[in-house]
Amino acid sequence: MIRIEINGTPYETAAGESIKGVLTEAGFKFPCGGVGRCGKCRIVCKDLTPTDLDRRFLTERQIADGVRLACDKVATGPISLSCEISHDEKKEDVVLHECSVAATICDEDVTVSIVSDHLVETVKKKNPLNVYPTMKALAEAYQKDGGTLTKSLRAVIGKESVELFEKYGGAKAQVTALAAKDIYLKILAGLPLSATWEDVVSATENDPCGLPTESIYLLPALNEVIGGEVIAECVKLKEKSLLVDCEKTATFYLIGEKDDLAAAIWDCSYDEIGKRCVRAAAKYLSHEEKFSAVYLYGKYASEAEDALEDDFACIRKEKSPESVVDALLSFRTRAKLNKEKNRTTYIRLYDREVFQRFLTEEE
């Protein structure tokens, strides 16, 4: 038999036994399936030689500090390890103190969720940048005083993340998934508005943007108006559907049989002219490819529904935190999001003659 000391308590096991299995038998419940897909079963044991799986999920600093994954390790000799969990006499009450965060930045709100192997809790707060009435005003304010806007956006995500950590006994997120338009991601990263998507990805890979997290994963955004949270909703909708995100900028996303089409109406105020634009946009997109349903999201969904319901079947929906959480937890979902982005073409509606004709017909 081999002696294994866990958090100062001795246990015995047979040679070749899975260390994760020994921990489970000892009452340590891990929020994962133990198949090397998530990197959550972390222990500290410098006696264990780092594996390729450790190098996949852990930083060089963590490995040097003795952090290892338990799922691919076996007992070959006496070792002493520690595992950061809450542990009492009842095995079913054991909770692993590891978590991730999923945050969505919309024009009106910022949604922050704490995630284990599933969505645990979500809070929604007002977007501090919503004080600017239009995206143009936001861009101008950022160019004048970018540091203040960056700090305010980081503060709301960081504060809500920390409060959720404290509530559930965590300390720091392994990964924070961010879903937002390009402009919000650039502000969060403190980059100029002229920065490319590659610039944003590179910046967040090297710097967690002042957030309480080890790393950041960005849901792919299409551009300054179509964010990752919209694409995450699109992958759940059926073909031949139209998603309309009814916020300050009305954005349209047509899910086609082969390719998708996206468009936007800048700073739409949803007054009579705005409603005419929404109707003209929907008619233009149905002219491009027929769709069976219109899904309306956002603060001004009711105004858009009033504009469209005579011609189209409208369905009101809310953006779901689960869409971002799925991307955080599933490599398959991440692949779907990248595929969705790559098959989407963005068009400028006002440059299209057919759109202008539809808009004139609405007068």
Which amino acid does the sequence have at 243? Answer: L
**Quick check: 213 and 101 in contact, CB under 8 A?**
yes
Residue with tokens 């009711």: 302
Give me the domains of the chain, ranges plus CATH numbers: 2-95 (3.10.20.30), 100-218 (3.30.420.480), 228-361 (3.30.420)
pLDDT of residue 97: 44
DSSP string computed for 203-261: HHHH--TT-SEEEEEEPPP-SSSS-HHHHHHHTTSPSSEEEEEESSSEEEEEE-SS-EE
pLDDT of residue 31: 57
Question: Rounded distance, CA 252 to CA 230, Å?
Answer: 10
The residues, ordered by sequence, that sit 6+ positions from 14 with a Cβ below 8 Å of its Cβ are: 1, 2, 75
Q: Which has the higher per-residue pLDDT, 42 or 251? A: 251
In this structure, the number of other CB atoms found within 10 A of the CB of residue 161 comes to 24
Say whether pLDDT at 27 is over 80.
no
pLDDT of residue 32: 60
Length of the chain: 363
Give the mean model confidence (pLDDT) for residues 14-28. Answer: 80
Q: pLDDT digit string (tens) for 83-101? A: 865 444 333 333 434 679 9
Q: Which has the higher per-residue pLDDT, 260 or 120? A: 260
Rounded to two decimals, what is the model's pTM? 0.72
Three-class secondary structure of residue 292 per DSSP: coil
- Which range has the worst mean pLDDT, 48-62, 75-89, 229-243? 75-89
Q: Which has the higher per-residue pLDDT, 157 or 121? A: 157
3-state helix/strand/coil string of 70-121: CCCCECCCCEEEECCEECCCCHHHCEECCCEEEEEECCCEEEEEEECCCEEE
pLDDT of residue 92: 38
Give the mean model confidence (pLDDT) for residues 100-124. Answer: 91
pLDDT of residue 33: 55
**Quick check: 41 and 69 in contact, CB under 8 A?**
yes
Q: pLDDT digit string (tens) for 31-50? A: 565 556 667 778 899 989 99
Of 303, 304, 279, 282, the residue nearest 291 (C-alpha): 282
Give the mean model confidence (pLDDT) for residues 355-360. Answer: 92
Helices (H), 120-223: 135-144, 146-168, 182-189, 197-206
Extract long-range pairs of 28-33: CB within 8 Å, 24+ residues apart. Answer: 28/83, 28/85, 28/87, 28/94, 28/96, 29/91, 29/92, 29/94, 29/95, 29/96, 30/70, 30/96, 31/96, 31/98, 31/116, 31/117, 32/71, 32/117
Q: What are phi and psi of 234, to 5 degrees?
A: -65, -35
Give the mean model confidence (pLDDT) for residues 356-362. Answer: 89
Which amino acid does the sequence have at 33? Answer: G
Say whether pLDDT at 157 is over 90.
yes
Q: pLDDT digit string (tens) for 180-194? A: 999 999 999 999 999
Three-class secondary structure of residue 270 per DSSP: coil
In this structure, the number of other CB atoms found within 10 A of the CB of residue 13 comes to 18
